[in-house]
Amino acid sequence: MLTKRIIPCLDIKNGRTVKGVNFVDLRDAGDPVELAEIYAKFGADELVFLDISATEERRRTLADLVLRVAEKVNIPFTVGGGISSVGDVDILLQNGADKVSINSSAVKNPDLINELSAKFGSQCITVAIDAKLIEGEWIVHLVGGKVPTKLNLFNWAKEVEKRGAGEILFTSMNNDGTKNGFANEAIARLSSEVNIPIIASGGAGNMQHFCDTFIEGKADAALAASVFHFKEIEIKELKEELRRNGILVRL
């Protein structure tokens, strides 16, 4: 049985870590390199860095950040935001990232998933899916949740798996930043319909929420931001609580 992973997420804007609610109302949460070093030291299994306002001319900024993070941490980390080509990925991996996360670019050009998987291996490719429950259907959104598509979450998840994605990072826009818990019903369905790991994201507010997403949602990993950034939950204590609930984690 594989251990469950705890993954702090650092949303990056203008070189700083930020956090909002339902993808808006962003506030500063600190220096990303300093936070990364702290999380690596105190028990995080992986890290995710998402440049939430990435544009092509800022690619060098993100690559420089990756280099700085790689010098400070000894755990795997994933980088996403504005990645749209083999060249983008090549730079980030060369600078020390272990994996990349693609989202809008994958929807606009699904063949990109195939290309990246073939070039770098599926273990390097995470497809992030931001979706919102609208009138009973989970609809995929792009550009930091600003642009709705016609894609259904579950259909898209199955397609990205077929195209070579190594894992899926699913964020419920309804739950993001609310601290009311993860969208476990949707996560459980995803887990049953695809055969690659599902990272649950959006809604963590207390330790029980993590227990619930691993037990009820069948998630392989749980990602959170503000509860870690603002020290509402300590990762070591969280993992001890998960162990008490029979959930296998690395201490």
Q: What is the pLDDT of residues 67-100, one digit of tens each?
A: 999 999 999 999 998 899 999 999 999 999 999 9
Domain span at residue 186 reads 5-244
Catalytic residue set:
11, 130
Q: Does residue 113 lie in a domain region?
A: yes
pLDDT over threshold 70, residue 12: yes
Question: How many domains are there within the chain?
Answer: 1
Q: Does residue 105 lie in a domain region?
A: yes
We report the CATH number of the domain holding residue 161 as: 3.20.20.70
Q: Does residue 251 lie in a domain region?
A: no
Q: What is the pLDDT of residues 173-231, one digit of tens each?
A: 999 888 999 999 999 999 999 999 999 999 999 999 999 999 999 999 999 988 998 89
Q: Does residue 142 lie in a domain region?
A: yes
Q: Does residue 217 lie in a domain region?
A: yes
Q: Does residue 249 lie in a domain region?
A: no
Q: Work out the mean pLDDT of the chain and round it to a whole number.
A: 91
Q: Does residue 64 lie in a domain region?
A: yes
Q: List helix spans (H) across 71-170.
A: 86-94, 104-108, 111-120, 153-163
pLDDT band at 23 (very low <50, low <70, confident <90, very high): very low
Q: How far is CA 23 from CA 33, 47, 122, 132, 207, in A?
A: 22, 19, 28, 11, 22
pTM more than 0.75: yes
Q: Does residue 250 lie in a domain region?
A: no
